[in-house]
Chain A
Amino acid sequence: MATRPVDLLLGRLMRKAVAAPPVAAEGSRALALFKAWLPALVILLLLLVLPSFVPSYIQSLVTKMMIFALFGVSMNILWGYGGIPTFGHAAFFGFGGYVCGILIIHGGIANFWVNLVLVMVITALLGAGLGIPAFRVYGVGASDNPIYFLLVTLAFGELLVRVAISARSLTGGSTGLSGIPYPDLGIGVSINSYSYYFLVLGIVAVCLLVIYRIVNSHYGYALRGIHDNERRMQALGFNTWLYKYTSYIIAGMFGGVAGCLFAYFGGTMVPNNMGMAMTDIVFLIVILGSASVYFGPVIGAVIVVGVDYLASMYMPERWPLIMAAIIVVVIMFIPQGVGVLLLDLWRKVFHGSAA
């Protein structure tokens, strides 16, 4: 049986025998892998050369899109794969951003890599701490309806907003934490808004790859099994609580990374980045892009951030109305998301059938 790093890390902790995910015969496997990853490679190459062709405001827009793509994909570990409707994912995003900013401004830690690792560790600890109470109300034993989990996670996010508002000396209160500089990589390269694009591209690409490996490992398949039928997974001997709990921590950790990148990007962090509005936006990104497609939230992020940008140019005061209109259209008319539509189109064009 294949042993991937992620299975060694996670699978061994909690696993019983799992059927291996379907793989092609060895010979055609490399080719199939190449074909499957071709679109991602093309997009990566395009993004690498993009800054040579577009003005700087488009470049900074794409930076923001990439950050929100990571944010959306990290949430989709829970919602799309685990079927866990968290309404406090923005808490991790904002918390990661605040930790990043506080470490730089109050902690004096300038090095980007040290900062990033600390942010990941601290947001993972937050996830570990919040996950224990949160999963008491969600799961087979507690309730079949996700509403209480939704409310608990919403309350966590709003509680963190209140903490950020009142801990004024550390977080800058309700006006937020400002003056976060561009990161210092510690290798003598100074980062400005132009080169920050490439840093974000690198980090987001690595994170997306890692998350892809996680959701397509045995661990990820078990998570999908829990989504489909948790009782059956329990009957098969899986500790479903541990799977859900760890997925909450992993999603929170990557959400924290996105928040950290966002803190460097904007230079500020405000309490509402952890609250209900931000959670609503990331949920919209995931639903719009398709929760059932791995790269769905990336598409969702491109659309939402793009429309946000257009709105901020032409009618900045009316953004909530535009967002509500998008939400209504998506939820009422394309609940499966744009990603599924695009994937069907892709398969029709390149494989002759919309399988």
Chain B
Amino acid sequence: MSTFTITALNGVSYAFILFLLAAGFSLTFGVMGVLNLAHGALYVLGAYFGLAVIAQLDQFWLGVVIAALGTGLLGLGIYYLFLRHLYDKVPEQAVLTIGLGYAIANIILWVWGPFAKMGMTPSAFTGVVRVGTLAFPIYRLVIIVIGLLVLALLWWMQDKTRVGAIIRAGMDNKEMTRSLGINYGVVSTLVFLFGAALAGFAGILGTPILGAYPSMGDALVLLTLMVVVVGGTGFIQGTMLGALIIGLLDTFGKAYVPSVALFTSYVIFIVVLLVRPSGLIGRKVF
């Protein structure tokens, strides 16, 4: 029973890391329809960048902020220079961003070397919580809390703010949104910046649990795609649902049936794409 509880808690905290990883992608892909397959590489860059800053300044939260800002600015550059001009050319977006993802991975390899890094847990959150005979790391609980805060922020942004309304309007009809006098270009650029910043934010927060190595982006971007597509495009709630499904499935799969765990999420991904391409609770965006 106790291993089951621990596995469940691990699964939930893994799901929240996946949610943080996928939240930015869900904004840019699910809402704006821009396929940024360099998202995984941005996550890894955020991790390395943040670790470098933390090693220099010894300030965990400052490192998190700077990592998010750095990847956000890089994402802004990618969007402003390239993706903005490739509206509606999905295969070209994919080819370009996969290539950029490998370039970013290569730069990470160049600057920081090929070795895997393990992020250090900030000293305030080391140690474990004990409930009876069970022990659970505090940092994983912190991740869950931060994930919930980000979920609340994005949900609020999506449903209650003017930016959210503009994005939802642009999702339905870009031309009509523009003709109403809204500068959709600026809003979408800012949303893309925010999405890329979330990738870096997730990267530095996730390293104490997942670690980081230069070529990690590939596997991460596939996980991201699974989370966003399975849960549903267009809503942040969908991403949370997808993260919970993939995260719990993966954790329980690895714990109980390791031989098939490698494929289960792919099979779910393909089945969802076939049966309900807009995801479990998503709306049709494309």
Mark A residues whose CB is within 8 Å of B.
79, 85, 87, 133, 136-137, 142-148, 150-152, 154-156, 158-159, 162-163, 165-166, 275-277, 279-280, 283-284, 287, 317-321, 323-325, 327-328, 331-332, 335
The answer to whether A159 touches B263 (Cβ under 8 A) is: yes
Nearest-CB residue, chain B, relative to A149:
B273
Contact of A324 among B90, B102, B274 (CB under 8 A): B102
| Assembled-state Cα–Cα distance A319/B107 (Å) | 11
In the complex, whether B32 has a CB less than 8 A from a CB of chain A is no
Across-interface contacts of A283 in B (CB, < 8 A): 91, 94-95
| Assembled-state Cα–Cα distance A98/B29 (Å) | 34
The answer to whether B277 touches A323 (Cβ under 8 A) is: no
The answer to whether A320 touches B91 (Cβ under 8 A) is: no
The answer to whether A320 touches B103 (Cβ under 8 A) is: yes
Interface majority SS (helix, strand, loop, mixed), chain B: helix
Across-interface contacts of A154 in B (CB, < 8 A): 222, 225
Residue among A79, A145, A327 with most chain B CB within 10 A: A327
Across-interface contacts of A325 in B (CB, < 8 A): 103
In the complex, whether B80 has a CB less than 8 A from a CB of chain A is no
Chain B proximity of A204: nearest CB distance (Å):
24
The answer to whether A155 touches B90 (Cβ under 8 A) is: no
Across-interface contacts of A320 in B (CB, < 8 A): 99, 102-103, 105-106
Chain A proximity of B215: nearest CB distance (Å):
10
| Assembled-state Cα–Cα distance A198/B222 (Å) | 40
Residue among A142, A156, A283, A287 with most chain B CB within 10 A: A283
The answer to whether B270 touches A147 (Cβ under 8 A) is: no
In the complex, whether B172 has a CB less than 8 A from a CB of chain A is no
Chain A proximity of B113: nearest CB distance (Å):
11
Chain A proximity of B234: nearest CB distance (Å):
13
In the complex, whether B143 has a CB less than 8 A from a CB of chain A is no
Which chain B residues in 95-111 approach chain A with CB under 8 Å?
95-96, 98-100, 102-103, 105-107, 109-110
| Assembled-state Cα–Cα distance A276/B99 (Å) | 10
| Assembled-state Cα–Cα distance A162/B262 (Å) | 7
Q: A320-B106, A321-B106 are in contact. Are A151 and B95 (CB under 8 A)?
A: no
Nearest-CB residue, chain B, relative to A323:
B99
| Assembled-state Cα–Cα distance A10/B100 (Å) | 40
The answer to whether A152 touches B273 (Cβ under 8 A) is: yes
Nearest-CB residue, chain A, relative to B275:
A136
| Assembled-state Cα–Cα distance A161/B82 (Å) | 30
| Assembled-state Cα–Cα distance A262/B100 (Å) | 26
The answer to whether B103 touches A148 (Cβ under 8 A) is: no
Q: Mark B213-234, 1 if CB is under 8 A from A, else 0.
A: 0000010001001000100000
The answer to whether A321 touches B86 (Cβ under 8 A) is: no
Chain B proximity of A281: nearest CB distance (Å):
9
18 contacts between A and B (CB under 8 A): A148-B277, A148-B286, A155-B222, A159-B263, A166-B262, A277-B218, A280-B102, A287-B95, A317-B106, A317-B109, A321-B107, A325-B103, A327-B96, A327-B100, A331-B82, A331-B95, A331-B96, A332-B82
Across-interface contacts of A137 in B (CB, < 8 A): 273-274, 277
Nearest-CB residue, chain B, relative to A134:
B274
The answer to whether B99 touches A324 (Cβ under 8 A) is: yes
The answer to whether B102 touches A155 (Cβ under 8 A) is: no
Closest 7 CB pairs of A and B: A324-B103, A145-B286, A327-B99, A320-B106, A85-B91, A320-B102, A324-B99
Chain B proximity of A24: nearest CB distance (Å):
35
Q: Given known contacts A154-B225, A284-B99, A321-B107, what 6 new A-B pairs fall within 8 Å (CB)?
A: A136-B274, A147-B35, A155-B270, A159-B270, A165-B262, A318-B110
Residue among B105, B229, B266 with most chain A CB within 10 A: B266
In the complex, whether B192 has a CB less than 8 A from a CB of chain A is no
Across-interface contacts of A142 in B (CB, < 8 A): 277
Across-interface contacts of B105 in A (CB, < 8 A): 320
Chain A proximity of B224: nearest CB distance (Å):
11
Nearest-CB residue, chain A, relative to B98:
A280
Nearest-CB residue, chain B, relative to A84:
B91
Nearest-CB residue, chain B, relative to A142:
B277
Contact of B277 among A87, A143, A159, A332 (CB under 8 A): A143
Chain A proximity of B74: nearest CB distance (Å):
13
Across-interface contacts of A152 in B (CB, < 8 A): 270, 273-274
In the complex, whether B92 has a CB less than 8 A from a CB of chain A is yes
| Assembled-state Cα–Cα distance A317/B103 (Å) | 11
The answer to whether A151 touches B109 (Cβ under 8 A) is: no
The answer to whether A87 touches B99 (Cβ under 8 A) is: no
Across-interface contacts of B130 in A (CB, < 8 A): none
Across-interface contacts of B262 in A (CB, < 8 A): 162, 165-166
The answer to whether B95 touches A133 (Cβ under 8 A) is: no
| Assembled-state Cα–Cα distance A317/B214 (Å) | 13
| Assembled-state Cα–Cα distance A321/B158 (Å) | 37
In the complex, whether B19 has a CB less than 8 A from a CB of chain A is no
| Assembled-state Cα–Cα distance A319/B37 (Å) | 19
Contact of B102 among A150, A159, A277, A279 (CB under 8 A): A277
Chain B proximity of A288: nearest CB distance (Å):
10
Which chain B residues in 263-279 approach chain A with CB under 8 Å?
263, 266-267, 269-270, 273-274, 277
The answer to whether A145 touches B90 (Cβ under 8 A) is: yes
Contact of B222 among A85, A158, A335 (CB under 8 A): A158
Across-interface contacts of B273 in A (CB, < 8 A): 137, 148, 151-152, 155
Nearest-CB residue, chain B, relative to A152:
B273
Nearest-CB residue, chain A, relative to B29:
A147
Chain B proximity of A68: nearest CB distance (Å):
16
| Assembled-state Cα–Cα distance A151/B271 (Å) | 12
Across-interface contacts of A321 in B (CB, < 8 A): 103, 106-107
Residue among B33, B103, B109, B229 with most chain A CB within 10 A: B103
